[in-house]
Amino acid sequence: MRTDITNIHKQTPHTGLTEALEVFAGGTSVHFNTGDWRNNTPVYHADKCRQCLLCTPCCPDSSIPVTDGKRAGFDYDHCKGCGICAEVCPFDAIEMKAGNEV
């Protein structure tokens, strides 16, 4: 059975899932708010940020958007709180705090 993954949601029974959870549609990750299960949350300190943009490509969830060549906040709908951005920031502009509250 092949199922359009864009129709899968929290209430979907196991019979409605794709076999082996295969993905049959592209560009669907935006529909899944993986930030729901974040345990730790990055906090951005704009006063320390020097816009080196090192953090942006290191984020495995593309949750550090860049607009007009500058980063600002986080996409908390998709940030999973892995902490990689805080580790790579050379200027301590990102702090990790416990919990998923923004």
Tokens of 74: 């986080």
Q: Which of residues 12-51 bind ligand SF4 (CB under 6 A)?
A: 42, 49-51
Total residues in contact with ligand SF4, by rule CB under 6 A? 25
Q: Which of residues 47-86 bind ligand SF4 (CB under 6 A)?
A: 49-55, 59, 61, 63-64, 71, 74, 79-85
Q: Cβ closer to ligand SF4: 6 or 39? A: 39
What torsion, rounded to 10 degrees, do the Cα atoms 23, 24, 30, 34 define? Answer: -20
Q: Which residues bind ligand SF4 (CB under 6 A)?
A: 42, 49-55, 59, 61, 63-64, 71, 74, 79-85, 89, 91, 93-94
